[in-house]
Amino acid sequence: MGLFALLMAAFVVTHIGMATSGVRDGIVARAGEKGFQGLYALVSFALLGAAMFVYRDLEPVIAWVAPTGAWHVATLVMLLASILFVGSVTPANKALAGVPASDRPASGVLRITRHPMMWSFALWAMVHATLSGSWPTVILAAGVGALALLGAAHQDQKKRRLMGETWARYERETSYWPLGAQVSGRQPWRTVWPGLVPVLGGVALWALLTFVHPVLMKAPVVPPWSFAQ
């Protein structure tokens, strides 16, 4: 398990570290943009692939057992994560790499958090770490969650440098944290409704993932399908 933890830590650190401006610029100067992209992908896939190879042979090491009520709360959290994920690929998401600068105001799930995709991964990680209680899964989930949230913070820093005042205005009306803009008064509470497409798409994705959960992932049957048993 120590090797697995080391590989996951290395994956997170190198994935974010290589993308920092100083490291990235140094590699680009020597190998070019395509060379950097190739090296970045090679290191990331090699470390993640090695981690998954080790993970599949690890025996569960149970540290705690989640209470029944936690499963019901978790399925609602996963519904929110599904809505955030679907919403992140529908409106223009300024936090994603390659999205051009724009003066358009935030819309959809971006008014809930400017990093909806990253938070969908982070919520997935929190749910699976909490419910599993097995150290290998906890380590895997912690790596995914850390990469998502640290990566989101790094994206903010990069956009501040590249987009200047355009990004500053966007940050003033949005929040890194889910519902942070509503709590702080930067967005009215009615903006927690992300729109019909993210909600319907998120519900459909949530229903599909929870249905195939025991089939594809060899995991327990989860709500709402467990209610039918």
Categorize the per-residue pLDDT at 213 as very low, low, confident or very high, splitting at 50, 70 and 90: confident
Among 42-56, 93-107, 147-161, 180-194, whose mean pLDDT is lowest? Answer: 93-107
Are residues 31 and 53 located together in one domain of the fold? Answer: yes
Are residues 152 and 71 located together in one domain of the fold? Answer: yes
How far is 179 from 160, CA to CA, in rounded Å? Answer: 21
Q: What is the pLDDT of residues 219-228, one digit of tens each?
A: 666 666 665 4
Are residues 184 and 124 located together in one domain of the fold? Answer: yes
Are residues 116 and 52 located together in one domain of the fold? Answer: no
Q: What is the pLDDT of residues 121-157, one digit of tens each?
A: 999 999 999 988 889 999 999 999 999 999 999 889 8
Of 43, 58, 73, which marks where a domain is finished?
58
Are residues 204 and 127 located together in one domain of the fold? Answer: yes
How far is 215 from 28, CA to CA, in rounded Å? Answer: 44
Are residues 95 and 168 located together in one domain of the fold? Answer: yes
Are residues 218 and 113 located together in one domain of the fold? Answer: yes
Are residues 155 and 224 located together in one domain of the fold? Answer: yes
Are residues 86 and 46 located together in one domain of the fold? Answer: no
Are residues 30 and 136 located together in one domain of the fold? Answer: no
Q: What is the pLDDT of residues 23-41, one digit of tens each?
A: 888 888 888 888 888 988 9
Q: What is the pLDDT of residues 56-112, one digit of tens each?
A: 888 888 888 888 888 889 889 999 999 999 999 887 777 776 666 566 788 899 999
Are residues 139 and 190 located together in one domain of the fold? Answer: yes
Question: Pick from 227, 223, 48: which is nearest to 144 by CA?
Answer: 48
Are residues 98 and 143 located together in one domain of the fold? Answer: yes
Number of domain units in the chain: 2
Domain range for 42 is: 1-58
Of 42, 58, 74, which marks where a domain is finished?
58
Of 29, 58, 87, which marks where a domain is finished?
58
